[in-house]
Structure 1
Amino acid sequence: MKKSHIAAVLCWAVCASGVALAQEFRGSILGRITDASSAVVPGAAVVVTNEETNVSVETRTNQEGSYNVPYLPPGRYRISVSAPGFRTAEQRGILVQINDRIELNLTLEVGSTTESVVIKAESPMLQTASVDLGQVADRTILEPMLLTTSVLNLANMAPGVLGSTTLGFGGTMGNAQNNIAVNGGGGTQTGNDVTVDGSPALAPRQSGLAVGVPMSDAVQEFKIVTTMFDASLGRSNGGAISITTKAGTNEYHGSGFYYTQNTALNANSWTNKRVGIPRPEVDLYAAGGTIGGPVRLPKYDGHNRTFFFFAYERNRNSNHAAGLAFVPTAAMRQGDFSGVLAQAGAPLALYDPLSTVVSAAGSFVSRSPFPNAVIPTNRLNPTGVAVIDKLPSPNVDVKPQINRPNWTADMLFPQITTNWSVRIDQAAGSKHRLFGRVAAPNYNQAPSPAYFPGAYSVPPNGTSNLNTDTRRHRAVTLDDTVLFSPSLVGSFRVGYTRVWTYNYMEGDKQNPADLKLPAAITSQQIAPAWPIFEIGADGAPFIGSRPRKSVNDIWSFMNNFTRLAGGHNLRFGVDYRVTRWNENNPGTQANGHFVFNNTLTRSNPTQSSTGNVSGSAMASLLLGLPATASNRGIGYTSPLTLQVHYGGFFFQDDWKATRKLTLNLGLRYEIETPPTERFDRLLYGFDPDLDLGITVPGLGRLHGGVQFVNDRGIGRRQGELDKNNFGPRFGVAFSPGRNLAIRGGYGIFYSSNVNNIGTPTTDGAFGALTQYVGSTGGDTLPIPGVSISNPFPNGYVQPTGKSLGAATDLGSTVTYVYPRRVLPYIQQWQVSLQKQFRGQLLGEAAYVGTHSVKLFEDFNLNELQDSLLSNTSNVPNPFLGILPPASSLGQGSTVRATQLTRRFPHFTNVNEQRDNTGRVLYHSLQMRAQKRFSRGLQLVANYTFSKSMQYLQYSAVNVRKWRTVSPLDYPHMFNLFLTYQLPVGRGQALGHNWNRTLDAIAGGWTLAFITHYQSGDALTVTDTNGTPIPIADPATPGGVKDRLGDRLDPVTKLPLNPYFKRDVWIRIPNFAVSPEPPRWSWLRGPSQWTQTATMSKTIRISERFKADFRMQAQSPFNHVVFNNPTTNLASPATFGVITASRGSGTRTVTFGAKLRF
């Protein structure tokens, strides 16, 4: 579509409807007013008033007696209806929740308007005005269940939702919703739309990170919509998550809290106990508070008009972990390894790499040892000595042995999160209701203390938590709701979100001169810092640097119009968003990255088993001889400055066709531009027919090359504009009476590409990597003169930009995004039955199905045909002297014969990402029961029985097209959320007349319980040559604890009680292709069953002040939730062995207190 056409569409939408909202968080009260004879009453005055703020909205019924009061913030309302000749009717305590459409039909009695009739009725739970499925969590649920954690952890309150299995501890900074999948989720867990007070809250390219999510005490309600037949909802893989924040009221209310965990009551994990690691120390706390009410200033009283709400929270989570590493002794630092044992336990032998003898064909013949495993002083490399001297000294009294820890540290990783927000609400006359909100979460993590200068990785945790990670999130929302007339209401909103991240390692703060680095390294660094020196092959820690910085912004411009026309409630509008992502992630090679292993110093570099008795990574470091390894050297990845535009246009007609029948009819159109990069540093795609003008003997003219954006007639977008994204929605709700509702619907909605924008760039064009090549034959023969002191004797690879055009990356691998990709879409349908019972109890049963279409897959267009896999012969290299000499195919006298049979023989791989070839089909029975809080009891329970099948092509060259269960297939899921206030204390059934002292001791107890069950993961069994073929059921009998693989045969040392049988598999021979799918529905890991229990004691200090004392236990019974077993058949010692438990099965206990007023 031309830019002028897009502008015309946008202009039309804005003129016709205003700019509207993708997900409205407020509710509506609507209905029909009749008299005793069932005749409609036109012109009746309808006043809806918030019972806490006393802010009212007035409207009138139309000629059909219909009224609609939209954009009501969640809360309790009263409605008053009056008309000449009739008594005034009033109903109170009407509960409006997120995105509710409450149908309330009232009958007026003949009489004077000065007379009133108060209607006593429960707020309806049946959904008779819409067909969306979902679940709301209001304060009656959030208050007793959440201490200090994100409300997103309650997503599985709705059936069909795969979510968090525990509540966790801590703030709301890391709100990755990558564990939430709705109705199969299209096979992914990151595509749900999340809004806070109606504004988008998802950061791009961060696995669905939700930004600006408020602390739990600042949340008024949380809702997850699992089927979306309302055209105002969209841009999702399956679910829409809406969070609305608390607002101030006419009375001042607030809270202050402090929560902490106690090491003594926490349990040690099964994983730690299995290997003898003690229970970790706990240093966790959360503190904060809230306050809200009317704004009062000199000469201004905000009662009934202006309200504020402020919230602040600070969390500290100091993780402890044991650092266990093998570090050099004083003798080793001088090159003396004579007292060191090899990994196998024998005295270590070191071999001189410069003594290597090879045959005329280049095959290894022999090496000579260093006498007594001592490296001569004149062979010690100054950089290697400087690096090894930066490692800590042993503090464990054991004989030095390769890969046996002789150093330990209590590694402390303090993580501090703060989160503050402020909201202002204003009722400006009878026409405008405004609110604004600002939120500012912050996060900082730093290793404390630095265990040694420049620490980059420490076993067994690797690089985890050794970085300094600073994040700043900002979120702003402004909204104005305007009453144009009794039949036309609009809501105008602007939102802004910023995510700022800076991440660096300890080595980024160090002086490179301390390591005596050569100018060949320091002259090419992006900043003065220590390179990464990787010596983990000995079980040693290593040092290094890696800076990363990113800033992204999301602007959203929205408003939503509602018009009442007869029995039609019309809504229409546009949702417009601009996403900008700025990233500078130069990679691990930015300041140099070198790996050292034992290959160059062991007796035989071609036999890995010799490394058990000879060779050392530290010895290679002292010699100054890094290994020749992929992606090791010096260079950088290009920065990115990306932008994506999105527009969603919708029209919705909620038609009250009869008193018992409502039709929801809608259409949504979405358009999302492919990303642009500010400096056009992107590949556009790959042209398979492009003539490169290069002739290769035996192959002829070469065809196929890369294309750049904004080059040779191609536009600036990274792909073509997908214009065919129409999403019809249809729903029907039928209420035959007797508190029964029958509902059904069908809709199409589209996913988003925003998490994948700008992937990938081309390192060879806009970045560069000069690879370290110090040996040949797989680290067999060192190249004379090449070492860490002279790492790049042939110079450096420089970025080429677009100068090479289609010849970029010739002889190497090219990776690009398929330019004709389209937005994946999901077809969704449901048929459901709702029944409301006495006691505010609702039951629901639904059949829900989804069909996710055009899902993304990645292919290698240069994949070999299966019939050629067995051909390992070499032929003379026809590309020598033609393709770039630094490329893989441009060097060497021979190449594999099969290389010449590939579709594009002049490339090693041609990786095409995001082809629209996948699909997922999901069917389910979903059942839900909900009891609103009454008589001290509240309950939400759900059960889902489902099947999720995945259909993928897997290959663009060979026939695969396996039909298999989705990785998110869980046949059974059950969740229970229960809150019960014990009927004990003043005013209760037991202790009704107790005095305050006795009530403070024995009354005011509340119990909350959450339990979650889900089937085990569908497993994939792997082997050297692909998935083996099962010839019988591999499952072993007994419970999981009887099948852990923890008992070994004393002779074979193989597990006697594995999770799988070992003798029921046919292994795939070399060069063959397995006919088996990647996973089976009948082979599953252990199921997950988790519990969380909370006990609260409330003491009434005065009429306004209450104190709560709380204890929350996650996994109170310390029920072990086992992880999946090892499934690699090629590793017989660990196949079928369960080596770890999930953290959700380890008991943790949190204590705290809260003061409320």
Structure 2
Amino acid sequence: MNFGSTKKISAGTIVIAFFLLAFFVFTKPAQAQLAGASLSGVVSDESGGAVASAKVSIKNVATGDVREVTTNTDGVYSAPNLSPGNYEVTVTANGFQTTVQKGITLTVGAQQALNFGLKVGQLTQTITVNEAPPSVDTTSSTVTATVEQRTVVELPLNGRDWTQLATLQPGVISVRAQASTGATANRGNRGFGDQLADSGHRPNENTYRIDGININDYSNGAPGSVLGASLGVDAVQEFSVVTTNYTAAYGRTSGAVINAITRSGSNQFHGSGYFFDRDKVLDARNFFDGPKIPPFRRTQFGGSAGGPIIKDKTFIFGDYEAVRQSQSLSFSDIIPSAAARAGNLCSAPGAGATCTPHTVTVDSRVAPYLGLWPDPTKVTAIATQNNGDTETIRTAGLKVLNENYFTIKADHKISASDSLNGSYFFDKAPQATPDNLNNNIHQVFTKRQMFGIAENHIFNPALVNTARFGFNRVVGLVNQPVRAVNPVAGDTNLGISAGLFAPLIEVSGEISSAGGLGNLSFFGHHYNSFQAYDDIFWTKGKHSLKFGFAFERMQYDVLSKVRQNGDFRFNATSVTPLENFLTNHPAQALLLSPAVRGEVGTRDSLFGGYIQNDWRLRSNLTLNIGLRYEILTDPSEAHGKFGLLNSFSAPAGSGPCPNVFPNAFGPTSVPGCTVPVGSMWESNPTTHNFDPRIGFSWDPFHNGKTALRGGFGLFDVLPLPYVFTIGDSLTYPFSLSFSQRGLPAGSFPNVLPFINPTAPGTRWVDQHPHRSYAMNWNVNIQRQLTSKVSAQIGYVGSHVVHNAFTTDDSNQVIAKLINGQYFWPIPVGSGTIANPNSAFIRPIFFDGTSKYNGLQAQLAARDLHGFQAQTAYTWSKCLSDGDGAQLGDPYQNSLSSLIFFDKAGSRHGPCDFDIRQNLSVNYLYSLPSPGGDSPLKWVAGGWQVGGIITASTGVPFTVVTGADPLGQNSSDQFDYPDRVAGCNPINSNFKSIVGLTYLNASCFQLAPPTANGIRMGNNGRNQLYGPKLVDVDFSVIKNTHVPRISEAFNVQLRFEFFNLFNHANFQAPLDNNTLGGSLGQIDATTTTSRQIQLGVKFLW
């Protein structure tokens, strides 16, 4: 690796290339999709001949806005980028009767085909069709589904998170092994939003858009607050989930595109007020709860309103929603007993005790820190342990959340050919949490903002331009210190150095750890995205053309403070760890270097352009052909501080790295040392990002009721800033720790004279990565069975190559490859790690692959005598070489440091989010009401039921050996065991076994040593699957219309039940997957127990 001759792409080169692309695009235009919808079709006479120059008027029923287009010589018309909503279309032509089609619903991103057959007659004669046209998409090969407003606002949603509804579609699942939002650092550093996987793609390969503006968070994941939810259900008009083979208009992603549209005002004033409440008195006890249900209270309230400012011209809509939540926390803690605090140890020896009562002198420098643990004389002990030295107590705290969300949208019709709309949302959610000893309050905090503005200009009926500008800002603070509850925890006189609070004190295995304010690792995420888009639609003969460009400037800053107050560890020697603490005999001290500020700022820009042509070859056959080009600039650091290893390994005898400590680093010829770099790589892999996409849609019966579709395309997996930034913040030169073992007696807490810097944690990045992209394909058939029922079934596949792959530590002994298998040296631990100059190496390789094959089917019914429903089923298989891009362990079932050099062996296996079978059913049914105006109608009328039913197979997980039987000598080692042949590892009757033991421990054993060395076991990654999941959510709604107030006024009472039958959906044993006494024991559920939410809404 030669950093002195890096090959970079200059900004000027990028600009020139971009304008060359723009020139090519503007000379050969094309078409695709935006957040709006497109309506197109053919107007013909009774003999099937084309009717040219027919006038097609498309009217938005809510706003009165009319778009007029004219058919060409082939009888084709096209109206692109229409606002989603309800429409009626009027077709007029000389010599023919006027035809009016009502009941047309255009959904976000849809390409709706609507053909007209005109009858000879006078224009004054009108034929009106009230029945909705067929809902089958006969012009696009894209696999997409739309969630309409009624579904969004009326299905039962726990937390009222609209992104949950994406999982109602085939191929989309919520990753069941994602960390709980309660696990603050674990979840916050991975993004708080619900992690969704689509058709084998990683969750951070999806794109989320509101009104055409990207709102992904800093992890490139789903938007979400501290609760993991995206509020604003009542502000969403509808949203679509585009899962595979979308057109060239979509970039930045290879996974799903989730498009939401904010509600707009209309010519009629409309609005709502709502209040939802959840309380523990209505909830069932979780399987793992104690005798009493922990206190819990959540209220969600708010209101929305919209209407005209100027009729038919200017409209406004706004929504506000608040969440107030308090949750009781219960902790079990071990503290020093009163006797031990006085120096009287082993004061209560039990039968067979190995200790003798004795007295020690508590060191005067230790005594002030005993105040970090509760006074045992003022609390009630559950039990006395360890021969009287410690006591177990229960402590309680209250986790409090106050979230406020609001959004506003304005639409303005400038003229018949110009319209403007803009939207803004703001969401702020601080959550304060005490630590287990009630010493300190720490805060988890999220703040999200999005602004977007779009201008739509109609040059003529065949040429339309849409320009959009947007800004997305996300702030996530994890474990931010707020205040000290215990004065001892807030005393800076107890810090290791000036301005610090008491360090974290770990007394190994004997008492609960304690420390001053800020003893938790803090991470601050700040992400900004500036966006600009332009799309031109052009109808030319049988071609619906579109072309455009995209620009995005990304700024991602992370500030990390790990062990910011320091960390002292007291271990067992000839005496107990507690005695060593009391007498001031520390085993180890760790301290973050005050000379290094762990703040990294990644900067990157995206340029994209595309051409798209939807070519109607015949009236029943459309080809979708597109090409996209998308490039990222070389990532840079805001302060010019990127540093990478100049060589992954440091050969024996190469010597230590010069000029590394405390904070200076420079060019060096010593292999395996960190050197400054201007960018993350020498060659930019995105310069070759040409993405051809092709598909077809065929209506074999010429009636719009059947579509056979298929498509194939390339979709780039871009190395966006999330891939690098958080890992950089934990490595040199952004982070440097001091560590010292073998400290002299009495050195606590004045450790600075005795402590030395450790080898730094370092970063290595593949300097010549290959382009990372996905090949996605599908073949499917959709059929409208009746006017209200449709079905679809298809095969969906993908193959991703050169995906980013990282581990938390790859600085390990490199095994020898013998006859296709890796072996580690004997005796165990005798090998040498790759780079002794590094404490750990957090690398990024671009060698990950994944494959997905799935059968996806759905059956949908709409407006069927008050009943609507959708059934989605997926049968699939996903395999990969690891699923971590920015962190080694993105999910609870991930292995954080897979063997990077053993891609085909130890790394390969089922994806962490592989769910082999998944069934989802959702429905709404309005019960028949009695007729007339009798009191019976008031009581028995207006009832509605709805629900979501989910059933799926279990999630994959891995059994590991624990310790380091291979002798990898890394900070994050692991090994697989061997599976005993013929032994069934799953206890099918685990529910009746004490401890809910899911695994048969006798089926696993350590791999035996061989003459070649020690090999890894054969029970590889994700070879086992956890229990299945069955969940039923149900709602009962009572609508009461009050015409005395207004014709539209409705009082809605809601009763919502989550996990209606209180089914215990057990999680896989993710916390107990290590060989030992607790192997296979399940200690958590995947879903909540039954929870009941009550609500009232006022609608007008």
Quickly name the TM-score band, shorter chain normalised: 0.7 to 0.9
3-state SS, counterpart of residue 1138 of structure 1: coil
2:422 and 2:913 mapped to 1: Cα distance? 39
2:253 and 2:779 mapped to 1: Cα distance? 21
The answer for the alignment partner of 1:72 in structure 2 is 82
The answer for the alignment partner of 2:335 in structure 1 is 327
Tell me by how many angstroms 1:563 deviates. Answer: 0.4
Q: What code does the residue aligned with 1:792 have?
A: L
The answer for the alignment partner of 1:1052 in structure 2 is none
2:951 and 2:64 mapped to 1: Cα distance? 44
Instruction: Say whether 1:235 aligns with 2:220.
Output: no
Q: What code does the residue aligned with 1:537 have?
A: G
Instruction: Say whether 1:396 aligns with 2:380.
Output: yes
The answer for the alignment partner of 2:1003 in structure 1 is 1064
1:796 and 1:401 mapped to 2: Cα distance? 37
Tell me by how many angstroms 1:509 deviates. Answer: 8.8
Identity, in percent, stands at 22
The answer for the alignment partner of 1:761 in structure 2 is 728
Given that residues 196 and 213 in structure 1 are in contact (C-alpha distance below 8 angstroms), is that contact kept between their aligned partners in structure 2? no
Tell me by how many angstroms 1:673 deviates. Answer: 2.5
Structure 2 residue corresponding to 1:179, chosen from 182, 186, 195: 195
Instruction: Say whether 1:671 aligns with 2:631.
Output: yes
Instruction: Say whether 1:992 aligns with 2:931.
Output: yes
1:687-698 aligned within 5 A: 687=647
Q: What code does the residue aligned with 2:744 have?
A: I
Q: Go from structure 1 to structure 2 and tell me whether the alpha carbon gap of 1:1029 and 1:599 turns closer, same or farther (over 3 Å shift).
A: same
1:1030 and 1:522 mapped to 2: Cα distance? 52
Given that residues 674 and 720 in structure 1 are in contact (C-alpha distance below 8 angstroms), is that contact kept between their aligned partners in structure 2? yes
Tell me by how many angstroms 1:956 deviates. Answer: 2.5
Tell me by how many angstroms 1:593 deviates. Answer: 1.8
The answer for the alignment partner of 1:1150 in structure 2 is 1093
The answer for the alignment partner of 2:660 in structure 1 is none
1:805-824 aligned within 5 A: 814-824=762-772
Given that residues 195 and 242 in structure 1 are in contact (C-alpha distance below 8 angstroms), is that contact kept between their aligned partners in structure 2? yes
3-state SS, counterpart of residue 190 of structure 1: helix
Post-superposition CA distance 1:446-483 (Å, at most 9, x none)? 137x886643xxxxxxxxxx521233211101011110
Q: TM-score, normalised by structure 1?
A: 0.82
Instruction: Say whether 1:163 aligns with 2:165.
Output: no
Instruction: Say whether 1:1091 aligns with 2:1012.
Output: no
1:558 and 1:392 mapped to 2: Cα distance? 64
Instruction: Say whether 1:407 aligns with 2:356.
Output: no
Q: Go from structure 1 to structure 2 and tell me whether the alpha carbon gap of 1:911 and 1:252 turns closer, same or farther (over 3 Å shift).
A: same
1:259-658 aligned within 5 A: 259-272=276-289, 276-295=290-309, 302-339=310-347, 349=355, 372-377=357-362, 379-382=363-366, 384-385=368-369, 387-388=371-372, 394-398=378-382, 400-402=384-386, 406-447=392-433, 454-455=439-440, 467-502=442-477, 503-506=479-482, 515=491, 517=493, 521-523=496-498, 527-535=499-507, 537-540=509-512, 542-546=514-518, 547-588=522-563, 590=564, 592-600=565-573, 602-603=574-575, 615-617=576-578, 619-628=579-588, 636-658=596-618
1:514 and 1:441 mapped to 2: Cα distance? 31
Q: Go from structure 1 to structure 2 and tell me whether the alpha carbon gap of 1:373 and 1:1149 turns closer, same or farther (over 3 Å shift).
A: farther
Given that residues 306 and 425 in structure 1 are in contact (C-alpha distance below 8 angstroms), is that contact kept between their aligned partners in structure 2? yes
* RMSD, matched Cα: 3.6
The answer for the alignment partner of 1:842 in structure 2 is 790
Q: TM-score, normalised by structure 2?
A: 0.86
Which is further off, 278-287 or 16-25?
Answer: 16-25
Given that residues 77 and 94 in structure 1 are in contact (C-alpha distance below 8 angstroms), is that contact kept between their aligned partners in structure 2? yes
Post-superposition CA distance 1:334-353 (Å, at most 9, x none)? 33345466xx887685xxxx
Larger radius of gyration: 1
3-state SS, counterpart of residue 725 of structure 2: coil
Q: What code does the residue aligned with 1:315 have?
A: V
3-state SS, counterpart of residue 868 of structure 2: strand
Given that residues 126 and 835 in structure 1 are in contact (C-alpha distance below 8 angstroms), is that contact kept between their aligned partners in structure 2? yes
The answer for the alignment partner of 1:52 in structure 2 is 62
The answer for the alignment partner of 1:855 in structure 2 is 803
1:911-950 aligned within 5 A: 911=841, 913-950=843-880
3-state SS, counterpart of residue 335 of structure 2: coil
2:917 and 2:849 mapped to 1: Cα distance? 22
The answer for the alignment partner of 1:735 in structure 2 is 699
Q: Go from structure 1 to structure 2 and tell me whether the alpha carbon gap of 1:345 and 1:411 turns closer, same or farther (over 3 Å shift).
A: farther
Tell me by how many angstroms 1:238 deviates. Answer: 1.9
3-state SS, counterpart of residue 872 of structure 2: strand
3-state SS, counterpart of residue 340 of structure 2: helix
Post-superposition CA distance 1:728-771 (Å, at most 9, x none)? 11111110125211111111101232221335438775346453
Tell me by how many angstroms 1:653 deviates. Answer: 0.3
Q: What code does the residue aligned with 2:837 have?
A: F
Q: Go from structure 1 to structure 2 and tell me whether the alpha carbon gap of 1:764 and 1:569 turns closer, same or farther (over 3 Å shift).
A: closer
Post-superposition CA distance 1:782-829 (Å, at most 9, x none)? 525x512420214765xxxxxxxxxxx9x6653222232345211111
Tell me by how many angstroms 1:489 deviates. Answer: 0.3
Instruction: Say whether 1:1115 aligns with 2:1048.
Output: no
1:567 and 1:308 mapped to 2: Cα distance? 38
The answer for the alignment partner of 1:791 in structure 2 is 751
1:284 and 1:689 mapped to 2: Cα distance? 53
Residue ranges of structure 1 left out of the alignment (5+ in a row): 296-301, 350-370, 456-465, 604-614, 776-781, 798-808, 874-895, 986-990, 1048-1054
Which is further off, 28-37 or 904-913?
Answer: 904-913
3-state SS, counterpart of residue 1027 of structure 2: coil
Q: Go from structure 1 to structure 2 and tell me whether the alpha carbon gap of 1:833 and 1:385 turns closer, same or farther (over 3 Å shift).
A: closer
Post-superposition CA distance 1:921-979 (Å, at most 9, x none)? 11111111111223110011011111222247944379836643222222211110011
Instruction: Say whether 1:94 aligns with 2:80.
Output: no
Tell me by how many angstroms 1:622 deviates. Answer: 3.2
Tell me by how many angstroms 1:105 deviates. Answer: 1.1
Post-superposition CA distance 1:1091-1124 (Å, at most 9, x none)? 1001111111112211111111111111110111
Residue ranges of structure 2 left out of the alignment (5+ in a row): 1-8, 657-667, 817-821, 883-897, 966-974
3-state SS, counterpart of residue 140 of structure 1: helix
Q: Go from structure 1 to structure 2 and tell me whether the alpha carbon gap of 1:763 and 1:1142 turns closer, same or farther (over 3 Å shift).
A: closer
Q: Go from structure 1 to structure 2 and tell me whether the alpha carbon gap of 1:687 and 1:104 turns closer, same or farther (over 3 Å shift).
A: same
Structure 1 residue corresponding to 2:924, chosen from 979, 982, 991: 979
Tell me by how many angstroms 1:391 deviates. Answer: 6.5
Q: Go from structure 1 to structure 2 and tell me whether the alpha carbon gap of 1:492 and 1:213 turns closer, same or farther (over 3 Å shift).
A: farther
The answer for the alignment partner of 1:960 in structure 2 is 905
Given that residues 197 and 243 in structure 1 are in contact (C-alpha distance below 8 angstroms), is that contact kept between their aligned partners in structure 2? yes
Q: Go from structure 1 to structure 2 and tell me whether the alpha carbon gap of 1:942 and 1:1033 turns closer, same or farther (over 3 Å shift).
A: farther
2:776 and 2:204 mapped to 1: Cα distance? 18
3-state SS, counterpart of residue 801 of structure 2: strand
The answer for the alignment partner of 2:209 in structure 1 is 195
Q: Go from structure 1 to structure 2 and tell me whether the alpha carbon gap of 1:1076 and 1:962 turns closer, same or farther (over 3 Å shift).
A: farther
Tell me by how many angstroms 1:664 deviates. Answer: 0.3
2:835 and 2:577 mapped to 1: Cα distance? 39
The answer for the alignment partner of 2:979 in structure 1 is 1030
Given that residues 986 and 1000 in structure 2 are in contact (C-alpha distance below 8 angstroms), is that contact kept between their aligned partners in structure 1? no
Post-superposition CA distance 1:405-435 (Å, at most 9, x none)? 6432332101111100110011111111111
Tell me by how many angstroms 1:383 deviates. Answer: 6.0
1:1112 and 1:948 mapped to 2: Cα distance? 34
